[in-house]
Structure 1
Amino acid sequence: MAMQLTRPILAAFLFAAAVLPGRAQTEAIDALPVSAIFVVSSGMWEDRNLEPVKGPDGQLRPPPASPTRGYYKVIAIRQGDGTAKIYLQRIVFTADGPNLLENIELEEFSQMKSYVTDIRPESSNGAPASPGLFVTVYLKTDPMSKEAESWTILIDELGEMKIEKASN
């Protein structure tokens, strides 16, 4: 009798252990807005942390020994009129995993009232060896246009950003 009860209880525990991690992942993807039409992770950034850091007690501490690092995300969010807003995020690597550090709307694209047709990284070979970002945004300012225009988002190793029409 005890053996008959043990099997269903064991099966229930195994099922719960298999399903719960999947549920946590489902909740994470459910948080992504359905209006997100493109999400591209690319490039990397690095802060050398050369300045002293103020501790919780208000005292200045030496900067961390290793630099703070992360990567960029470029996200297009469709608006009600079909145009898109484009955002640049800086994601920081932490001991607990990646965290959002900064979220910036790229006004240059919003002012154009653009219809984004694609966003592509410079390379699909993984993380680059040096800091920076190079992404091409394909868009139309007239939805009836046959050809999309190419615009680049460039961030150099110093963190300076430039958005310009691509020159082929």
Structure 2
Amino acid sequence: MPANIIFVTSTGYWEESGDPLSALDPKAGTATDNQSATISPTQRGYYKLVAVRQPEGNAHIFLQQVVLDAAGPKVISSAELEEFSAMKAYVTDIRPDTSDGVAAQPGLFATVYLKTDPTALEPETWTVLIDDIGDIKVERETN
């Protein structure tokens, strides 16, 4: 694994989506070359959030869609979440909604902890949400 991958969280699931993640929401970011992979409507998989440290110290976060097939897991889509990249944030943690590995319904919910100022005492919390129909939202958490 490359040393610049600082956090990886696998969480949530999708099924019968028929389209790679990048086709679901153009605001989600720029798809990589593996967007050309197609999936059949009967396939199922999960999501991954990956924080990659940049040379200047901040991180870019990628949302991946992974398909499960007979040969094992395969990334079929990877999109940079531009909302985080634009902030030039320092990611301090990424956590799934639950750590038991079981989601009750399709989608994803994860919390990203970050600092836009590395000297700040407390991180900001942001959520990444994908609902059961594939709509993606990245927003600051409010209590």
Q: 1:121: Cα distance to partner?
A: 0.3
Q: Normalised by the size of structure 1, how large is the TM-score?
A: 0.70
Structure 1 residue corresponding to 2:85, chosen from 106, 110, 115: 110
| 1:83 maps onto 2:52 in alignment | no
Partner of 2:70: 95
- Once the two structures are aligned, what percentage of the paired residues are identical? 54
Structure ID, larger Rg: 1
Q: String of CA shifts for 1:91-135, please: whole Å, max 9, x gaps.
A: 000111110110000000000000000000000011313100000
Distance 1:46 1:66 in 2: 7
| 1:73 maps onto 2:48 in alignment | yes
Structure 2 residue corresponding to 1:131, chosen from 106, 112, 115: 106
Partner of 2:12: 43
SS at match of 1:127: coil
Distance 1:67 1:43 in 2: 17
Distance 2:11 2:40 in 1: 25
| 1:33 maps onto 2:8 in alignment | no
Q: Normalised by the size of structure 2, how large is the TM-score?
A: 0.82
Structure 2: tracts of 5 or more residues without a match: 19-38
Q: How many residue pairs were aligned?
A: 123
Q: 1:48: Cα distance to partner?
A: 5.3
Distance 2:47 2:91 in 1: 19
SS at match of 1:130: coil
Go from structure 1 to structure 2 and tell me whether the alpha carbon gap of 1:75 and 1:66 turns closer, same or farther (over 3 Å shift).
closer
Structure 1: tracts of 5 or more residues without a match: 1-31, 50-63
SS at match of 1:111: helix
Partner of 1:28: none
| C-alpha RMSD of matched pairs (Å) | 1.6
8 Å Cα contact 2:65/2:77 also seen in 1: yes
